[in-house]
Structure 1
Amino acid sequence: MRRAETLSPPPAAAGPAAPAAGPAAAARSDWATLARLLPYLWVYKFRVIAALACLITAKVANVGVPLLLKQLVDALSIPLGDPRAALVVPAGLLLAYGALRLSTSLFTELRELVFAKATEGASRSISLQVFQHLHALSLRFHLERQTGGMTRDIERGTRGVQSLISYSLYSILPTLVEVSLVLGLLAVKFDAMFAWITLAALVVYIGFTVLVTEWRTKFRKTMNELDSSSHSKAIDSLLNYETVKYFNNEDFEAKRYDESLDRLRRAKLKSQSTLSLLNTGQQLLIAIALIAMLWRATEGVVSGRMTLGDLVMINAFMIQLYIPLNFLGVIYREIKQALTDLDKMFDLLEREREVRDAPDAQDLHAEAPPVVRFENVGFAYEAGRPILHGLSFEIPAGHTIAVVGPSGAGKSTLARLLYRFYDVSEGRITIAGHDIRQLTQASLRRAIGIVPQDTVLFNDTVAYNIAYGRPGATQAEIEAAAQAARIHGFIASTPKGYGTMVGERGLKLSGGEKQRVAIARTLLKNPPIVIFDEATSALDSANERAIQAELQTAARNKTALVIAHRLSTVVDADQILVMEAGRIVERGTHAELLAREGRYAQMWALQQQGGAEAAADVAAS
């Protein structure tokens, strides 16, 4: 029988706690990976024990079938007319034979039924832990990841849990139990040569299978890597659909994807050819072993040492043994692959958490607007390329501080540091006098709301995306936030209203509509600290002025940090900081900065001149 090659083996409850953060795991042995999985299964220890009991019972019944078949065949030698021919054979042996067959199937199904909850529970527990851990990893990890390849690894890993359990508990372990029982029976009932032939054949068969499968592993590994690579390219291209269209690069993307698929095709062919070699070798070894066993059994029948029923029993034993062994190559390979896939997922679980809570971290309680301070803050995304240099400023409670400056000055980095997506390299950031590194990340982020420059929405309804600011908000509260963000009218004008789907990453909405949804989401959250990172950058002038008033209302009685490029949006700020190359070069109110005729005044003049030219162009058209 030919076995099909697959890309991945055949996953989901509370489990052990996630491991402490550590460096990405080095290569670990298969036994170490198994040991890592066992605690998830041991949560269901009573089911594991019950499943093992069912397994042993099923195999005892299965081994009993050839024994009873021997009795049936030998009973056929009863002389004609003997009353036992009508009573013993049909009424006794046939019923017992049927009962054993039924028992084998019954206990096998019972084993799977009992253990299903453990299998699915372990898979669910691991999947949930990976999901939670990925959310706990730093922004740096998510900026560097390849989404398609990572999701493929997680998908294979969760399936690998079920595959590993299925193949080990449902194939390897039952076969070992049955082999042990058969070898014992052959050695006891007949001469030891039967047991030695069987054992030698099994050893050679298993050795051949393991050696060839280990040799084939590199081809399988290459095939999986190419599969992940082609999947990553396809996902990346589809996520950047608009960019592909902008540059008319559909053919380029198709050619790039086809090259990946062609490399995958060649790797699959290599894997399939080596699989055929493995299958042929296995069948040859099975045939030799069967011939040797049946030759010796036939010789025993001819010499009178054995009965015809013994020959039938030995043949039945060999068939029962070699049918599962026929799939040993596939099973061994799939177990090895499941261990590899599971190891990759455990590597994700052990990936370093760059930003983590301190052991004695406290919750931030900030019902009233707190004071926020940056004290001599230095920061670099990469060593040797500092972004911020000794930055110090304060946002008084309930006040608004605006930060302006050219692109690359480090303005948006301030928001990332305040959210603690990264930890500062030097100095510290405090909220209400607490160093944010001594606060729990959950309580810190609960106290901050942000309208980001690049708004990405969930592929769900408008209502869902607004309510994401405060899950559980009522429809009236959602609509009130939408009205404050000046988007309620647009939503109400759509056929499905608040049930309108926004598409992948919100692509069904315009840039301005997405930004207003983000504003509504933050207004609904209503935190004591708010950050507006170019919050009106995607809006036209009329809507910008309208929403600016709403943002000022939203920032009232809150500690607000406004990051802006257009200076007209920050003229009412309590203080304006002008940044260049990671340093504050000027600070003061709008009027004070204009009076100094420094960098801010130059930027203001340039933007005013640009606005006047744009207005003249519109008027002329």
Structure 2
Amino acid sequence: MSTTTTPLAPPKEPRDEGRMLGRLFGYIGGRGRRVKFWSAVGLRAISVVALTSVPAFTGAAVNAMRSGDSAALHTWVIGAIVAVGAYALFAGFAEFMMTRLATNATMNLQRDMFATMQRLSLNFFDRQPVGQLMSRVTNDTESVATFNENAVSQMMRGIFQVLLIVILMSVTNWRLTLAALSVVPVLLLVGAVVTRAAGPAYTRLQEQLGDLSGFQEETISGHRVLISTRRQDWAVHQHDLQAGEVFTTASKATFTGLLQFPATMAMTTIQMVVVLVVGGLLAAKGEADVGGVIAFVGLAGLLASPLSDLSNLATTTLSAIAAGRRVFEIVDDRPTVVDDPAAQPLTFTGGKVEFRDVDFSYVPGRQILRKNTFTALPGQKIGICGPTGAGKSTIINILTRYYDVDAGEVLVDDQPLTAVTIGSLRANVGMVLQEAFLFSDTIMNNLRYAREGATESDCIAAAKEANAHEFIEALPDGYDTMLVERGANLSQGQRQMLTIARAMVARPRILILDEATSNVDTRTEKLIQEGLRRLMTGTTSFVIAHRLSTISDADSILVVDQGTIVQQGTHDDLLTQDGLYRNLWFSQFKGKA
């Protein structure tokens, strides 16, 4: 199969920060979570009111102390203590609720992304390196999780505090309020500059993390090749280069984002000095009482903290926005191969398969199959052979409707594939591929994956038919043996027998085999061949052959070259023709027919 691997196009740098934040917030306080979210918001608002009332109580206590009113002094002091206690109580509950909402939001986002990936068509995965996808599932959602669990709560608290403090300042003394807010335009300007400068850096950082994850996944999967070719040092060097690029980009992005913090601290310090000077002058002129000035200074001091917190959120928020773009590129994707609204379940009557003038291309303009026509009658064994890259696997991918054809038609039992539901088609198709894939689960559960509702007896019977029962029973835990990733704790022949047994559990009507007996010893190959013969009984079978001896008994052989079926016929018929099949046969058997 020939495909082109092109990663998802990197997002342009649109000014969509607000929209992206809105989508992220939607996972926290969207439908089904609004009551809890607004309850947390209400508790946070109450806690902020309690906190910002402390300077007012303090100012009133100072005035009461200056006037010698001890009763009022006690009242205001008790009020301040109660306000602090109320703040701690309500803020604690709000934080607890927001943390639960944020954690749930991250889980839902990961689930939506994973669920979308399970529904997408195969061409999506053709375009995406596994490492890049894993980075989006892990690194990008981790960035979003950090934002959800920390930044959202701080952002709510900061915004509430700033708004309420500004209101209280205005009520207390409007002239001091103007003095205190004189630094805000500078802070807004710094924030805009930092966002514009750091945003692209964070986007680039997430992409580089994806590249690094892809390289790590590739080298771990291919560690045997690295060892056999003594390329471990090269792999370490390449890893260091990519990790160095990530470090450099992360440093630049973080440094740019953190510029906002010292700017905020400087501005809030200047703000406090301005408030003290102006407040002192007003008090000296008798235009403000000392208690009022002290209360205002307390409010100004409270304003510094949320402004500082909000500035510190720049890096976390920018990182989450960059990660969110990459996550939602997947969440928003849709499958290209879908059921027609009028599609009906496949009515299986025997397993006749027809290709009628089929054209196909993975990438527009780069045709892979051209005008291919053939018919497989029910119960026939069809061999498919040809040079590497000829289009053999592509024919199978179209038969299973992993892709839709560009032109022509594919039919099963006289029903066009586009007229039947995809699920009903694939429920009747079984596959045994050259690379046996097994999940990290027990042998029994691996067999049950083939058919929902398969019983233990069904699986054991299938294993016996596939000649796998004997070696399974010899394992310490038998059918409860836990397989490691891809079944690496079994031999290749054992893995292949398990995949044959799994296909038998599925009870397919149409069977696809891709050189299922390659690279195993003679005795194991004999056992596998016996299992395959039992599996093929009563099915329409397609066998992709690299060794022509495995299809010499086929009812019909399709010889594919450069995307076209150039010959069709039985083994004996094709050997009498001066064509590609004859050349391939004699090249494999050195002239011995």
Q: 1:591 to 1:222 in 2, by over 3 A?
A: closer
Q: 1:42: which partner in 2?
A: 30
* Aligned residues of 1:23 and 1:350 also touching (Cα < 8 A): no
Q: Distance in 2 between matches of 1:236 and 1:569?
A: 32
What TM-score do you get using the length of structure 2 for normalisation?
Answer: 0.88
Q: 2:136: which partner in 1?
A: 153
Q: Distance in 1 between matches of 2:462 and 2:83?
A: 70
Q: 1:12: which partner in 2?
A: none
Q: After superposition, what is the alpha-carbon deviation per residue over 1:498-534, rounded to whole angstroms, capped at 9, x for unaligned?
A: 3444433333333322222221211111122211121
Q: 1:247 to 1:59 in 2, by over 3 A?
A: same
Task: Give the AA of the match of 1:344.
Answer: R
Identify the match of residue 375 of structure 1 among 334, 342, 356.
Answer: 356
The alpha carbon displacement at 1:27 in A equals 5.5
Q: 2:17: which partner in 1?
A: 30
Q: 1:271 to 1:180 in 2, by over 3 A?
A: closer
Whether 1:325 aligns to 2:307 is: yes
Q: Distance in 2 between matches of 1:233 and 1:586?
A: 42
Q: After superposition, what is the alpha-carbon deviation per residue over 1:317-356, rounded to whole angstroms, capped at 9, x for unaligned?
A: 1221111211333213322332221122111233363323
The alpha carbon displacement at 1:37 in A equals 4.6
Q: 1:239 to 1:428 in 2, by over 3 A?
A: same
* Aligned residues of 1:23 and 1:352 also touching (Cα < 8 A): no
The alpha carbon displacement at 1:134 in A equals 1.8
Q: 1:131 to 1:272 in 2, by over 3 A?
A: closer
* Aligned residues of 2:198 and 2:256 also touching (Cα < 8 A): yes
Where in structure 2 are the equivalents of 1:342-353 lying within 5 Å?
342-351=324-333, 353=335
Q: 2:119: which partner in 1?
A: 136
Whether 1:570 aligns to 2:557 is: no
Whether 1:466 aligns to 2:453 is: no
Q: After superposition, what is the alpha-carbon deviation per residue over 1:299-331, rounded to whole angstroms, capped at 9, x for unaligned?
A: 444455544433432232122111121133321
Q: Distance in 1 between matches of 2:198 and 2:389?
A: 50
The alpha carbon displacement at 1:369 in A equals 3.4
The alpha carbon displacement at 1:258 in A equals 1.0
Aligned to 1:386, the other structure's residue is in SS state strand
Q: 2:5: which partner in 1?
A: none
Q: 1:311 to 1:465 in 2, by over 3 A?
A: same
Whether 1:110 aligns to 2:93 is: yes
The alpha carbon displacement at 1:564 in A equals 2.0
Where in structure 2 are the equivalents of 1:378-393 lying within 5 Å?
378-383=359-364, 385-393=366-374
Quick check: 93-102 or 62-71, which moved more?
93-102
Q: 1:512: which partner in 2?
A: 493
Aligned to 2:66, the other structure's residue is in SS state coil
Q: Distance in 2 between matches of 1:335 and 1:37?
A: 11
What TM-score do you get using the length of structure 1 for normalisation?
Answer: 0.84
Aligned to 2:568, the other structure's residue is in SS state strand
Whether 1:337 aligns to 2:319 is: yes
Whether 1:522 aligns to 2:477 is: no
* Aligned residues of 1:184 and 1:195 also touching (Cα < 8 A): no
Whether 1:232 aligns to 2:214 is: yes
Q: Distance in 1 between matches of 2:12 and 2:251?
A: 31
Task: Give the AA of the match of 1:467.
Answer: R
Where in structure 2 are the equivalents of 1:388-407 lying within 5 Å?
388-407=369-388
Q: 1:413: which partner in 2?
A: 394
Aligned to 1:454, the other structure's residue is in SS state coil
The alpha carbon displacement at 1:223 in A equals 3.8
* Aligned residues of 1:167 and 1:331 also touching (Cα < 8 A): no
Unaligned runs of 5+ in 1: 1-21, 613-621
Identify the match of residue 241 of structure 2 among 247, 259, 278.
Answer: 259
Q: 1:579: which partner in 2?
A: 560
Q: Distance in 2 between matches of 1:287 and 1:38?
A: 32
Q: 1:433 to 1:145 in 2, by over 3 A?
A: same
Q: 1:183 to 1:35 in 2, by over 3 A?
A: closer
Quick check: 151-160 or 124-133, which moved more?
151-160
Q: 1:19: which partner in 2?
A: none
Aligned to 1:76, the other structure's residue is in SS state helix
The alpha carbon displacement at 1:249 in A equals 0.2
Unaligned runs of 5+ in 2: 1-7
Q: 1:32 to 1:269 in 2, by over 3 A?
A: closer
Q: 1:543: which partner in 2?
A: 524
Where in structure 2 are the equivalents of 1:286-325 lying within 5 Å?
286-325=268-307
* Aligned residues of 1:237 and 1:244 also touching (Cα < 8 A): yes
Q: Distance in 2 between matches of 1:24 and 1:431?
A: 40
Q: Distance in 1 between matches of 2:485 and 2:449?
A: 16
Q: 1:180 to 1:24 in 2, by over 3 A?
A: closer
Q: Distance in 2 between matches of 1:325 and 1:114?
A: 23
Q: 1:264 to 1:195 in 2, by over 3 A?
A: same
The alpha carbon displacement at 1:463 in A equals 3.1
* Aligned residues of 2:172 and 2:296 also touching (Cα < 8 A): no
Q: 1:189: which partner in 2?
A: 172
Quick check: 59-68 or 295-304, which moved more?
295-304
* Aligned residues of 1:210 and 1:329 also touching (Cα < 8 A): no
Task: Give the AA of the match of 1:58.
Answer: S
* Aligned residues of 1:369 and 1:529 also touching (Cα < 8 A): no
Q: 1:348 to 1:307 in 2, by over 3 A?
A: same
Q: Distance in 1 between matches of 2:244 and 2:553?
A: 60
Q: Distance in 2 between matches of 1:598 and 1:435?
A: 32
Q: Distance in 2 between matches of 1:478 and 1:610?
A: 44
Q: 1:340 to 1:601 in 2, by over 3 A?
A: closer
Aligned to 1:450, the other structure's residue is in SS state strand
Whether 1:61 aligns to 2:42 is: no
Q: Distance in 1 between matches of 2:45 and 2:132?
A: 41
Whether 1:77 aligns to 2:58 is: no
Q: After superposition, what is the alpha-carbon deviation per residue over 1:430-452, rounded to whole angstroms, capped at 9, x for unaligned?
A: 11222112333222222211001
Whether 1:123 aligns to 2:111 is: no
Task: Give the AA of the match of 1:314.
Answer: F
Say what the alpha-carbon RMSD is for the aligned residues: 3.1
Identify the match of residue 437 of structure 1 among 412, 415, 418.
Answer: 418
Q: 1:243 to 1:141 in 2, by over 3 A?
A: farther
Quick check: 469-478 or 480-489, which moved more?
469-478
Aligned to 2:362, the other structure's residue is in SS state strand
Identify the match of residue 81 of structure 2 among 86, 98, 117.
Answer: 98
Q: Distance in 2 between matches of 1:333 and 1:272?
A: 6
Q: Distance in 2 between matches of 1:255 and 1:48?
A: 48
* Aligned residues of 2:258 and 2:315 also touching (Cα < 8 A): no
The alpha carbon displacement at 1:418 in A equals 0.9
Quick check: 446-455 or 119-128, which moved more?
119-128
Q: 1:27 to 1:479 in 2, by over 3 A?
A: farther
**How many residues are paired up?**
583
The alpha carbon displacement at 1:385 in A equals 4.5
* Aligned residues of 1:25 and 1:350 also touching (Cα < 8 A): no
Q: 1:25 to 1:300 in 2, by over 3 A?
A: closer
Task: Give the AA of the match of 1:425.
Answer: D
